[in-house]
Amino acid sequence: MAGTAGAGRRNGRARGARTAASVVTVLGLVGAVSACGGASVGGGGGSAVTVAVAADPGSLSPTTALASTALAMNSFAYDTLVHLDAGGSPVPGVAEKWSATTTSATFTIRPGVTCEDGSALTAGDVAAEYNHIADPGNRSPMLGLSVPVTAVARADEAARTVTVTTTKPAPFIVQMARMLPLVCEESLAKPAALARATNASGPYRLAEAVPGDHYTYVKRDGYGWGPGGSTGAGLPGKVVVKVVSNESTAANLLMAGQINVALVNGADQDRLDAAGVRYRSLESLFGQLLFNQAAGRPTADPAVRRALVSVLDLKQLGSVATGGKGRAPTRTGEIAPTPCTGDTVGGNLPAHDPAKAAAVLTAAGWTKSGGTWTRDGRALTVGLGYAANLGPQVASAVELAVQQWTSFGVRATAEPTGSGSIVGVLGGGDWDIAWAPIGVTLPDQLVQFYDGPPPPKGNNFGSVANPDYRRLTAEAAARPGAAGCALWDAAEAALVERVDVAPFVSKASRYYAKGVTFEVDGSGIVPSTLRRSAG
C-alpha cells in the first residue's frame, strides 16, 4: 500500500495522539427502513424541523457515544462508509464501492468528501479511525459493533482505498461499517471536544447545544455523498432536537404543531391515532431481562434464574408493558432487516409454572421458611432495575414482576433509574436483574454483550459465560454472511435456554410526524430522507 494509517501530516494538521474512550452500552441500534408522513414538498432548504427526544444524549463524541439518543443525533452530523437499504443490503455512502471476505474488506472512498472544517476526509482518516477503535487501549464501545475485533486498517491515498484486515473472522465486516460515524483524524486526538460540538462529515453541523433542552443542527453547504450519492438538496435548513422527557407532553406538542416528530410508545398512541396523525413503525425487542452472573450475585446460580423466570407470567408482563400491543419476540436483539431470521426464543424460555420453580429451587438447596426462600441463612433477594424514561407502562410491568416474585417468596424490589442512567448501572456492576433490551443489526454484534470480559474491560454486563454460545458463535463467524445463520440461531437459542437472557416481548416503536416525511432505522430518522410535507 502507498500509505499507512496514522502517519504524516495533511493540510497543515498534525496527526493527533489517541485518547481513551469511555465505555457506553447500546440500548437500541440500527434497524429497518420505512417511509413516514404525507406527500413531500419540494425544496425545504430554508425551513426548520423540530424533533423530540426523550432524554438528553449526554456526550455526543462519535467514537465513544452509543446511547440511542446520541446515535440518533449523530446520524445528522456524521456519515458512514455504507448504508443499508430496506432489504438489509449495503448501499454506497462515503465508500463508492467495496469488496470483502470474512477476514478483509477494501473500501474506495468517494472524492470530494469533507469534514465541517473544510478539510478533506481521506482514506487515511478512515483507516486511522478503524485503528483507533480497534486499539484495546482506547476502550471504544464500538469495538465489535462497527469495527471488528483484531481489525487493522491501511490506507492507499493515491487509490483512495482503505483495506481492513482481521485475524479473527468478521462475516459482516461491510455491514458493520454502517455504524462507523466518520471523523477527520484530528478529532481522534480529542474526543472530549466533540461531546457538545461536531466536526461533521454528514449533512448537518451542530450549531448550538443546550444540554437538557435543545440542540440545533444546521445544513452544510456542498453535501453530496449521502446514501447512494444523495445530496443535501431538499433537506430542511435546520433541525432542532428538543428534549421532552414526558411522552404525553411530546404528544401534546405534536398535536399543537410545536414539534414535527415524536417517538411515542405508550398510551398516547391511541389519541394520536384517533386524530389521524401519521406514523411509521419499527419492530424491536422491548422487554428483556438480563441477569448479573458475577460471583456473589444470587442470579449467578442458573437454578435461581430459571426459577425466577418460571414464576413470572411473561405474557402478562409483556401485555402490561406494551398496553396490549406487543408480540412474542423471535430474536434476542436483531432488528430487521437482518440476515438471520430464525425464531431463537419460542419454546426455549421456561414456561410459567410456579410449582416447577419451587421444585427447581428446592433441588438447588433452597428452602422456604416463613414465606421466604433461603439458603445458608440468607434470603433470596433481588432488585429489578429499569430506566424510568421507558414510561408508566413499563413501571407497572416491573411492579407486577416484583409482586409475582414477592408472592412466591422472593424478596424483590423495583429499582428505577434516572433518564438514561441504566447504562451506568449496568457498567457499574451493582445490580441483579435489569430490564435491558439490546438492539443491533447483525448477530455477531451481540457477542460482546454475552461473551468476553465484563466492564471496564468489555461490555459483557451480565458476566455471561455460556460455553455453547461461545463455541457456536466461533463456528458461525467462520462462515460468510448468511451462510452462518443456522449457527448464529443455535447460539442465541443457547443463551435463552440457559436463561442468560429472557426476551419476552417486542413492540413496534412509532415515529409520529406532522408536516414532514422521512425514513427511519433503529437510530431514528435517516437524515438524507427528511423533507417538509403538506401533511
Q: What is the pLDDT of residues 327-374, one digit of tens each?
A: 999 999 998 778 888 999 999 999 999 999 999 999 999 999 999 999
Exposure string for 196-212, b = 16+ CB within 10 A, e = fewer = bbbbbbbbbbbeebeee
Say if 61 falls within a structural domain. Answer: yes
For the chain, give the mean pLDDT. 88
> Could you tell me if 168 and 197 lie in one domain?
yes
Q: What is the pLDDT of residues 305-324, one digit of tens each?
A: 999 999 999 999 999 999 89
Say if 405 falls within a structural domain. Answer: yes
> Could you tell me if 298 and 441 lie in one domain?
yes
Task: Return d(Cα 118, Cα 200) in angstroms, integer.
Answer: 10
Number of folded domains that form the chain:
2
Question: Which of 361-375, 409-423, 511-525 holds the top average pLDDT?
Answer: 361-375
> Could you tell me if 528 and 486 lie in one domain?
no
Mean pLDDT of 453-462: 92
> Could you tell me if 501 and 362 lie in one domain?
yes
CB atoms within 10 A of CB 308: 31
Q: What is the pLDDT of residues 16-39, one digit of tens each?
A: 222 222 222 343 322 222 334 443
> Could you tell me if 268 and 319 lie in one domain?
no
CA separation, residue 62 to residues 76, 77, 194 (Å): 11, 9, 7
Classify 435 as helix, strand or coil.
Answer: strand
Mean pLDDT of 379-383: 98
Say if 317 falls within a structural domain. Answer: yes
Confidence of residue 228 (pLDDT cuts 50, 70, 90): confident
> Could you tell me if 418 and 446 lie in one domain?
yes
CB 464 within 8 A of CB 450: yes
Q: What is the pLDDT of residues 87-100, one digit of tens each?
A: 667 899 999 999 99
Residue 12 has pLDDT above 70, yes or no: no
- Write down the residue that cell numbers 448537518 correspond to: 204
The pLDDT of residue 47 = 86
Classify 446 as helix, strand or coil.
Answer: helix
> Could you tell me if 125 and 219 lie in one domain?
yes
Say which DSSP state 27 is in.
S
The pLDDT of residue 282 = 84
Residue 421 has pLDDT above 70, yes or no: no
Cβ-proximal residues to 52 (8 Å cutoff; 6+ apart), any chain: 241, 242, 243, 244, 250, 253, 254, 259, 261, 262, 263
What phi and psi values does residue 282 have, to the nearest 5 degrees?
Answer: -135, 110
Say if 3 falls within a structural domain. Answer: no
Say if 156 falls within a structural domain. Answer: yes
Residue 4 has pLDDT above 80, yes or no: no
Domain that holds residue 356: 283-507
> Could you tell me if 71 and 129 lie in one domain?
yes
Say if 202 falls within a structural domain. Answer: yes
> Could you tell me if 160 and 293 lie in one domain?
no
Say if 15 falls within a structural domain. Answer: no
The pLDDT of residue 189 = 81
The pLDDT of residue 5 = 29
Query: Can you point out the beta strands (E) in 362-500?
Result: 367-369, 372-375, 378-379, 381-387, 411-417, 433-435
CATH number, domain with residue 265: 3.40.190.10
Share of the chain above pLDDT 70, in %: 90
> Could you tell me if 243 and 198 lie in one domain?
yes
Task: Return d(Cα 152, Cα 134) in angstroms, integer.
Answer: 7
Tell me how far apart the terminal alpha carbons of the chain are, to the nearest angstrom: 53
Answer whether 0.85 is exceeded by the pTM. Answer: no
Q: Name the grid cell of 375.
A: 439458603
CATH number, domain with residue 319: 3.10.105.10
Q: What is the pLDDT of residues 230-263, one digit of tens each?
A: 899 999 999 999 999 999 999 999 999 999 999 9
Q: Name the grid cell of 152.
A: 487493522
> Could you tell me if 459 and 490 lie in one domain?
yes
Residue 388 has pLDDT above 70, yes or no: yes
Residue 3 has pLDDT above 80, yes or no: no
CB 533 within 8 A of CB 40: yes
Task: Return d(Cα 405, Cα 354) in angstroms, integer.
Answer: 10
CB 412 within 8 A of CB 402: yes
The pLDDT of residue 87 = 66
Say which DSSP state 321 is in.
H
The pLDDT of residue 20 = 23
- Write down the residue that cell numbers 449467578 correspond to: 300
Say if 111 falls within a structural domain. Answer: yes
Query: Can you point out the beta strands (E) in 23-103?
Result: 35-36, 48-53, 82-84, 90-92, 95-100
The pLDDT of residue 295 = 96
> Could you tell me if 406 and 268 lie in one domain?
no
Mean pLDDT of 485-491: 97
DSSP secondary structure string, 166-219?
A: -SS--TTHHHHGGG-----GGGGG-GGGGSS----SSSEEEEEEETTTEEEEEE
